[in-house]
Structure formats: structure tokens, C-alpha cells
Amino acid sequence: MKATVILTSLLLICFSCFAQNEYKCYPTNWWTGMKWNKVQVMLHGERIAAKFPMIKMGPAGVKLAPGVNLVMINRVENPNYVFLDLVIDESAKPCKFSFPFLKDINLQYEIKPRRKAKGKDYAQGVTSRDFIYLILPDRFSNGDVSNDRVAGMRDQTLNRDTVFNRHGGDLQGITNHLDYLQNLGVTTLWLNPVWENDMPNRTEHGYAFTDHYKIDPRLGTEKSYQQLIDATHAKGMKIIQDAVYNHVGLYHFTVQDLPMKDWLHQWPAYTNTNFKDQVLFDPYASPVQKKIMADGWFTTQMPDMNQNNPFVANFLIQHALWTVEEFGIDGWRIDTYAYNDLEFMNRCNKALMDEYPQITLFGETWVHGIPNQSFFVQNNYNIPFKSNLQAPTDFQTLWAMQDAMTKDFGWTDGVNNLYTTLAQDFVYKDPMRNVIFLDNHDIARFYSVVGEDMNKYKSSLSWLFTCRGIPEMYYGDELATTGFTTPNDGYVRLDFPGGFPGDKLNKFELSGRTAKDEEIWRHVHALANFRKQSSAITTGKMMQYLPEDGLYVYFRYDALQTVMVVMNTAKTTKTVSFAKYIERTNGFSTATDIVTKKRSGLDDFAIDSYKAVVLELGK
């Protein structure tokens, strides 16, 4: 039977026999013309090491095909694994070959031709010109009911009456609604993970991989994933995928049948990460506590990968490269970035950027504090560790916007926190790459955070689409969806109404939306589509003014356009005078509200409590 993981007071992981008479290669194939041309192929199957004779390697190794040589056979502790080091030189042509020396089995490997010219149709990256829309596939739309349950998988739940079970959303459901997303103004999709999560429960989120090289069959197939990506690109849109390097699911095949004891971080007794990112940069930190932060497990169900093991590192880096080339995605959002080995992450990021110079890499930096967040990305600090990660998910501006909308104005409180947070952008190499957001699949819906106050919510959306950085919106936020993470994070992962058979309302269509839904949808639509054409917002500069008694004003501008944003976070109406901001308003005579399209002169005006306006200034 398969090896199992035994969690007791001591964590013991033991090898046992591999029952399936099946042999697999990871990565499943490679390509000609790749910069990463030294490929380590993991072979997995019952006692596969015994199938390999002792081979004397020549100076160039063993020729497997023209331009393809085997230079090393790596035998490891578990005889169910062998790692083969291949070199694919510049003369290699697309081909298929068998490993000629294997006993009793015919195991083929393929070297494919690469995709089209780099940067033309994939690995395009995202920039401040884009608007990212985050989708949890299981909860967005069910386009293929035939894959709602898949025989043989551990989680057989399908119950939309509870947030704890699967609901049936899939890749086809997303493909079916690309027109809706494009009309809203979305330019880029970000999907929560799509790889197989064959775990016993809570499999809707996708973050516990059990096979890196298999699309979760409840979401679809490799073909349906490719169709979604191709359809997205055909509309001039892009797609970002979730990367998870730090951990895998407990039922991942490399956990159930460990290649070697140090494939995972193991401890004398189960050890959870301490979740304290500070110890990674604290000059006074305890080495033991640093190790617990980086090497402790995320949960008992998510074993921690040992990225200092070179076989693990190759497995993870090659999967990232393979995914981009195989499917043509445009970038990665990297999960739980702070918990990875950071030197490994620099290697992985470099491999991707070397191969795909335009690709975007941004990491989940769920931390508190500007120094904390900026430590994990390209920054201007003179410190020993220098990260090459392009950008963070900007939790600091999120916390600051929450303060602006939920706390009274003070010297450091309320909207002053937002001002101060942005004033510290000097720490980042390029703050325009920061991904800004109001909520996501792990935290409370922002509409609920602000007490379902429409003025506060619309003002926050106005900030999202006009601040520096790349705006990201969580699915359903355009409908003022509600939800808190208590008692469970499933309550912020509700179904998109109209995405599932039998839904009484279809909010993908105007006819299914309430007046409130449509008010927010129109607000997002106006902001997002104006932003697409706005050079000032997407590539211009930013100037902000000190908030006064809750009134906050900033400008986005370049030689072609000036946009003025006014936000009143006070409990009383405020008067706005254009003359007060003469540095940026001089020479203009009109102001057009980009949401209502109302045009007026530059006369003083009143703005109600918690309202915001976005004005394009004209001559």
C-alpha cells in the first residue's frame, strides 16, 4: 500500500511500498530553446530504481536523442524515485525518446517546440495599466455539471447550502463569462490555484496541492484550462495564476511516498510556523525563532517543503517554468511569500524572469508595517538580504484605507494613516507595481468592513482605481457582496449569483441586479473603463496633500491629463476650493466627474460625509 504520514507526538514519515504498477515523469515534458536547459526529471513508480542498471557515463553523458544527453542518474533514499539530469543543448530538435536502458518498461519523454515569440501572446506580465479580477473558481460559475463530483477523489461533497463543501464552479464557468468581465473593465484574471487538491475536506480553495502536474478534475482538464487561457488572450486580456511553493497538501504523492527524509521540514515534534515575519529581518532575532518561522508547517494538513534540498528546489522551479510554457500564463501571484526560504525564492524568481523578461511576479505579504512588507520585495534598503520579488500584495494600503473609513481623523489615525503609508513609498524600487486591493479570499469583504455604508464603499473603490499601483478586485465586489471570516473564511467565498444552475437571480445580467447592485456595478464600470484610457492614472505621477480634518485630496497627472481625487472621510460636509491646490489646478477651467459625466467650472463645492469624487480637469 502507499506510504502514509503518521502524525503523533513525534512526526514520523516512513517509506513503504508503492502499490501502483505505474511510472510517471515530472516535469512531464520539456522544450527546445529554453535557457533552463539542464532539466532534472523525477521518475516515480514502484521500485523504479531497480530498473536502472549501473551506467558508465562518458564526458558528455549518454545520448538519448540528438542534442539531448543524460549526464547523471541520482538515486535517493526511496527506491520508488530516480532523478535524471538531462542537458538539452542548442542543437536539440523536438522529439520523443525512450530511456533505452530501462528494464521491462518503456518510458517515453518528449521535448516540444516552444510557443510563439516571447512576449507576444503569453508571459506578458501586468502593469499599472491593468485591472486584476480575483476568482475562486469553485464559487464563481458552474459551466460543466459533469465534473461536479469525480469518482475516486477523497472529497465527494457537493452542497451549496454550506460554505464548507464544494459548490461546483469550474474553468468552463469562467470562460462562459469573459464577456461580462471585459465589459466591467477587467484586463487580467487571477485564479486561485487550479492544480489537483485531492484532500479529504475544504478543497474549494485549492492551496493544498496533491499533484503539481494535474489540473483538478473538478475544475476541468488541461484542455479546458488551455481553452480558458486562449479565450482570455483572444480578448486582449491576461491571466495570472497562483503559485504555492511553501507547502503542499498532506496527500501529495511526494508526502505519501517521500523521496527522501529531508524532502520536507521535519521536527522532533509537530512544529507550526510562528507567523512572525519580524524575525526574518530583526537584527536581534533568535536563530531558533527564525527557523520556526521559515521551516514550521503552515497547518497539520500542509507539510512544509524543504527548499534547501536541491531536488525540491528543482522540482518547484521547473514546475513554475513548465506552467508558463505549457499553458501560456502571464504571471504569478505567489502564496505565503514570507514563509518560503527567501534565497530559494530569489533563485526561482530569477529563473522565471530570465526565461520570460516581461512576466509579473507579486507575492502575498500579509504583514503589518511598511518595513515588514518592503523587506520581501525589491527595495532601497542597504541590508544583507536583497529580494528580487517585483511587488507585494499591498496589505499596508489596505489597512490604511480601512482606517480612513472606520476611524476618526487624528494625527496618525483615520485618513492620515493612508497619507503616511503612501508617503513611505520611497522604500520601494517601483511602487507602481504594488498590487492594491480592498479584500480577497482570506479576509472580510470590504463592504462589510465599512458597515455596508454605500458612501464609504464607493469612496474606497474610487481610491482603488486612482491610487498608484495595480488595482485588484475580488469577485462579487462589483455587487457590494458581504461577508466576514468569522466563524469561517468560507463566508467570504459565497457563490456569484447566476453562476450556477437553478439560481433564482442572475447578477451577470442587468435584469438580475438590485438597485444597490447596479449602483455599485456602474461605479466600478465607470472607474475601470475610464482608467483604461487614462495616461495620468496608469503611467503618470501622483501628488498628495496633507489631509485636513478628514478631507484628503490627491492628483494623478502627466503632460496630457490631470485627474483630481477628493475624499471626505469626516462625519460632516466639507467645502473644497480648487484654489487651494493651485500647483495642480492652475491653467484648468473645467472639471468633469468621471462617474456621473457632469461637467462644471472650478468653483468651490461641498462634498458630503464619506463621499469621494474623481474629476478630470480640462482647459
CB-neighbour burial class of residue 162 (10 A; exposed 0-12, middle 13-18, buried 19+): exposed
Antiparallel, parallel or unpaired: β 590-593 and 612-618: antiparallel
R_g (Cα) of the chain, nearest Å:
26
Tracing cell 498608484 back to the chain, one arrives at 468
- Clarify whether 509 is annotated catalytic: no
The 3-state secondary structure of 468-514, one letter per residue: CCEEEEECCHHHCCCCCCCCCHHHHCCCCCCCCCCCCCCCCCHHHCC
The 8-class DSSP code of residue 138 comes to H
- Is the separation of the CB atoms in 96 and 81 below 8 Å? no
β-bridge partners, 471: 436
The cell for 330 is 502571464
CB-CB neighbours of 100 under 10 Å: 10
What is the distance of C-alpha 26 from the center of its chain?
23
Helix boundaries (H) for 41-195: 137-140, 171-175, 178-184
Selecting among 144, 295, 364, 517, the annotated active-site residue is 364
The cell for 86 is 538531462
The span from the first CA to the last CA of the chain, in angstroms, equals 77
CA distance 284 to 369: 18
Collect all residues with Cβ–Cβ distance below 8 Å to 25 and sequence separation of at least 6: 41, 42, 43, 107, 109
- The sign of the dihedral angle between the CA atoms of 278, 448, 479, 468 is negative
Helix-helix angle 342-355:310-327, to 10 degrees: 30
- Clarify whether 364 is annotated catalytic: yes
Q: Strand 470-474's sheet: what is its strand order?
A: 391-392, 360-363, 331-334, 238-243, 188-191, 132-135, 470-474, 435-437
- Is the separation of the CB atoms in 585 and 602 below 8 Å? yes
CA distance 254 to 353: 27
Residues in the chain: 619
- Is the separation of the CB atoms in 385 and 344 below 8 Å? no
CA distance 182 to 232: 9
- Is the separation of the CB atoms in 487 and 453 below 8 Å? no
Exposure string for 257-278, b = 16+ CB within 10 A, e = fewer: bbbbeebbbbbeeebebeeebb
Selecting among 204, 295, 325, 335, the annotated active-site residue is 335
Collect all residues with Cβ–Cβ distance below 8 Å to 394 and sequence separation of at least 6: 365, 373, 434, 435, 436, 437, 469
CA distance 454 to 448: 10
CA distance 381 to 166: 45
Antiparallel, parallel or unpaired: β 211-215 and 195-196: antiparallel
Q: What is residue 520's three-state secondary structure?
A: helix
The 8-class DSSP code of residue 114 comes to P
CB-neighbour burial class of residue 131 (10 A; exposed 0-12, middle 13-18, buried 19+): buried
Give the closest residue to 524 by CA, choosing from 483, 475, 484, 570. Answer: 475
Q: Which residues are catalytic?
A: 335, 364
